[in-house]
Amino acid sequence: MYSSRAGSGREAGIDAIARRLVRDEPALITSRDLWPGVRQGRGLGASVFIGDQVGIALFTPAMVGFHDHRMALLAEPGDTVVVRQRCPEFETYLSEHLGMKRVRFLEAHAADLAPVAKQCLSDPGLFKHLLEALEAAGSLTLYAYLVTGHLWHLAQALAAAAQLPVHVAGPSPRISRRVNDKLWFWDVAREIAGPDSVPPSAFAFGPAAAAGRIARLARTAAQVVVKVPDSAGAAGNIRFSAAQLEGLGIAEVRGQLERRLRATGWDGRYPVLVGVWESGVEKSPSVQMWIPHSGEGQPEVLGVFEQLVHGNEGKFAGARFASLGSETEQALKNDAIRLGAMFQRAGYFGPCSLDAVLRKSHSGADQIHWIECNGRWSGVSIPLAAAGRLLGRRPEGIVVVQENLEAEAALDLAQQCKALGDLLFRCGQSREGVILISPPHPGRASLNAMAVAGSQARAEKLMEEVFDRIRAGR
């Protein structure tokens, strides 16, 4: 792990920014204190894990499939995992290969558009099961992929019904919303890391302004991107090439923009972010952090990863430990620690990751542009935490994949387990191997897995063998 204290001048600057943000928006820190019987943090009793991604803008149950099973890898004996749709084969895999015994799985309503945390409060059966878990353990800690007000409401209702303490292992609803908003993040990134630390961009508060901004940028940039600011995983990224826009008037650009945005499920809310799609990007690093309570230590960098992205919108497809120059890696860590320290002072607690892109400047040096903050668990932080728990230490090598596969590739979980065979990690027996992170998507061939090993080269080799076997369907 890496941690750092900024110099006194920078510390004072971070404090001043955080104080101003809290002064202008007191709910950043006060909203966590509005829930009687609920404590922010991690308790000593049992835990409940809700890996649902619905609640992130533009994410639907059909889109995310079985990805809500990922947080099951963090569960201990006596814990409860709530998913939209149970997958008994994956539960058996977790028990037999990863030694996850006495973990209870509860099923919410798969097609319900309401977040699972909200369903847990409104569905009497689900609430009763969680209440029983709380009463049996004496206290309960709630973990969620994305912490929202629904999770805090659920915690309060459970605490009131049982008259027992319930903890929320994550940020308050307001700071959670802010750090996951690209507009807010880019503003504070400019203050903390410098005015050139994010790509050239602007906010557009209506369709005409957005269309005008797109047209102006397309005169000097080959690619323009519009982003829904509170979405994630490239779900709200719309790219326009200058060639596509050539000869179009503002009304036509506006029409194209709104049609394409609405096709993603966008609800029509502005502002949106309009900027240059970076050219010459060489790598997409991600800094994984844990941010403790203020007064309990500095933010920790748990690892610097290089993200694998596919497609025109830059969709997340996996990650591996980054191979960067020492100066570049140190600069990423320094910026991340300072941003994490500001979040911490503004009331943030929990896992957090910062995504960037690296380009070469005219001088040949690496230029860092921060892209977004994931103020939640992620497709990298969950596997990293799970690998550390299963191995008893941080892995020296790790590769995570979240891939759509060719139609002829092995589709269901049983086929994947059969194909991987001796490559699969077995808790208590293996020192390296492949760990399935979630079941394949129910509607298409996919693979969500990680390879862990004693070196990065060995982990890469294992993952190459995974794809060879999966594609062969053996």
59 and 151 part of one domain: yes
CATH number of the domain residue 414 falls in: 3.30.470.20
340 and 270 part of one domain: no
In this predicted structure, which of 38-47, 154-163, 200-209, 345-354 has the lowest mean pLDDT? 200-209
Q: Which of the listed residues 256, 276, 296 is the one where a domain comes to its end?
A: 276
Q: Which of the listed residues 171, 191, 211 is the one where a domain comes to its end?
A: 171
149 and 219 part of one domain: no
**How far is residue 231 from each of residues 178, 209, 357, measured CA to CA in Å?**
12, 21, 18
Best-predicted range by mean pLDDT (65-69, 199-203, 287-291): 287-291
49 and 143 part of one domain: yes
Q: What share of the chain is helix, strand, coil (3-state, %, to 5)?
A: 40, 25, 35
Number of domains in the chain: 3
The whole-number average pLDDT for the span 306-312 is 70
Q: Do residues 395 and 459 lie in contact, with contact meaning Cβ atoms separated by under 8 Å?
A: yes
The whole-number average pLDDT for the span 87-97 is 96
Alpha helices in 57-115 (DSSP H): 61-64, 88-98
Q: Do residues 119 and 112 lie in contact, with contact meaning Cβ atoms separated by under 8 Å?
A: yes
222 and 113 part of one domain: no
What pLDDT shows up at residue 349? 96
Domain assignment of residue 340, yes or no? yes
Domain assignment of residue 192, yes or no? no
132 and 234 part of one domain: no
Q: Which of the listed residues 276, 308, 332 is the one where a domain comes to its end?
A: 276
What pLDDT shows up at residue 268? 83
Domain interval for residue 373 = 281-472
321 and 388 part of one domain: yes
Domain assignment of residue 287, yes or no? yes
Domain assignment of residue 12, yes or no? no
Give 376-411 pLDDT, tens digit per residue.
Answer: 999 999 999 999 999 999 999 999 998 888 776 777
> First and final CA of the chain: distance in angstroms?
39
Percent of the chain with pLDDT over 70: 94
Domain assignment of residue 185, yes or no? no
338 and 398 part of one domain: yes
**How far is residue 251 from each of residues 212, 223, 431, measured CA to CA in Å?**
9, 19, 60
Domain assignment of residue 392, yes or no? yes
* Predicted TM-score of the model (pTM): 0.89
Give 438-457 pLDDT, tens digit per residue.
Answer: 999 887 888 999 999 999 99
208 and 134 part of one domain: no
Domain assignment of residue 24, yes or no? no
Max CA separation in the chain (angstroms): 68
Domain assignment of residue 117, yes or no? yes
326 and 441 part of one domain: yes
CATH number of the domain residue 237 falls in: 3.30.1490.20
118 and 73 part of one domain: yes
CATH number of the domain residue 154 falls in: 3.40.50
pLDDT category at 3 given cuts 50, 70, 90 is very low
439 and 361 part of one domain: yes
